[in-house]
Structure 1
């Protein structure tokens, strides 16, 4: 069976972007210094302002997390995959490759940074996956407000304090059994989201998957 992740154009793009993302720690420090040590403080800067100052930073999922996402989409065969936080498109390529190999479905992804959105669109075209990806540029709480479901898989990988608002926005569109993946469990701002999906009263069965900084996988039951 086909695995588009190993198609030369896709594999080459992923190899290139993962290599560039290895400079993220240096880029983080430089951006933070340029902004007085407060570049990523949600109490000081809006989500859009932080996205703009971070437009040089990849912030990718790990390679293992990418393969996990690919496998989840292949197994669940969702009609619609939604991603909050495209960045340069590493995670999106994994999602889109799985949709392509399923032979059905679409990926709707969101990005605040105009610089990253432009670069990601180029990559989707270069890899031949642009026909299964729709990139919505801007605030996800606005761009996803009119999204039509059902959503079978939701990836949350943007600013952490927005995970819960984005999830609640899309809950009416989640299909029964939909999977929700929240990346980077150890980062600040995650706790309200984790408290919510780990409370059975909110309609999820949730488990932590130990890849890199951790992925919380929640099933809409």
Structure 2
């Protein structure tokens, strides 16, 4: 069984990818130029409330495949946005017949939209959307955590990973989207150093997706 190919889920994903493409073509707000580096995470989240920032379709299918194979009890996603990647993770959990996805988002606009999109795709029952700062909302997510997707603000990838590390299952899979971005040097250095207990492969999908195994 592959929920991604069901009419309901495929239609929702198709609609969301079309909306994401349309949003990407809209001009950026010129008032943000020069201010982004001084904004808080909450301010940046609200400024980006209408940007979808999705994983590429092949990246979504990779997330589905990895989650099907890992059969995790707990999946954690940092950065829900409009729920495109969340739908891929939830579809895998649904098809596995076990596990649950915990995802976190700051933007109130995106929280409401992602919950509606997950329900529309037919996978909302498999997801808990945690509203607020990930460094707070993820503190109480139960382990063992078998799959982690990092796709929020890039400077928080490493702090979020460190928050979760003691709850990672042996062999846990980590996926870091946009691995080519400058803000990920600290994270990439951490998961690329064998002394930290990871094996990492950086894949050329979209702006890069780094897949790490907790070895």
TM-score range, shorter chain: over 0.9
Paired residue secondary structure (2:28) = helix
For residue 30 of structure 1, what is the aligned residue in structure 2?
Answer: 28
Tell me the TM-score normalised to structure 2 length: 0.97
The 5 A counterparts of 1:116-131 are: 116-131=110-125
Counterpart for residue 88 of structure 1: 82
Provide Cα deviations, 1:27-76, integer angstroms capped at 9, x if missing partner.
4x422x132x136x3x3111111000100100000000000000000111
Residue-pair matches, total:
215
Instruction: State how far apart, in whole Å, the 1-side matches of 2:113 and 2:34 are.
Output: 26
Residue matched to 1:203: 197
Match of 1:76? 70
Match of 1:7 in 2: 6
* Equivalent residues in 2 for 1:161-172, closer than 5 Å: 161-172=155-166
Q: Alpha-carbon deviation of 1:127?
A: 2.0
Map 1:25-174 onto structure 2 (within 5 A).
Answer: 25-27=24-26, 29-31=27-29, 33-35=30-32, 37-38=33-34, 41=36, 43-174=37-168
- Structure 2 unpaired stretches of 5+: none
C-alpha separation in 2, matches of 1:178 and 1:131: 23
- Unpaired runs of 5+ residues, structure 1, are none
Q: In the TM superposition, what is the alpha-carbon distance from 1:23 to its structure 2 partner? A: 2.6
Question: Per-residue displacement from partner, 1:55-98 (whole Å, max 9, x unpaired)?
Answer: 01000000000000000001111111100000000000000000
Q: Helix, strand or coil for the counterpart of 1:216?
A: strand
Paired residues of 1:24 and 1:59 also in contact (CA < 8 A): no
CA distance in 2, matches of 1:24, 1:216: 26
CA RMSD of aligned residues (A): 1.1
TM-score, length of structure 1 as denominator length: 0.94
Map 1:169-184; keep pairs closer than 5 Å.
169-184=163-178
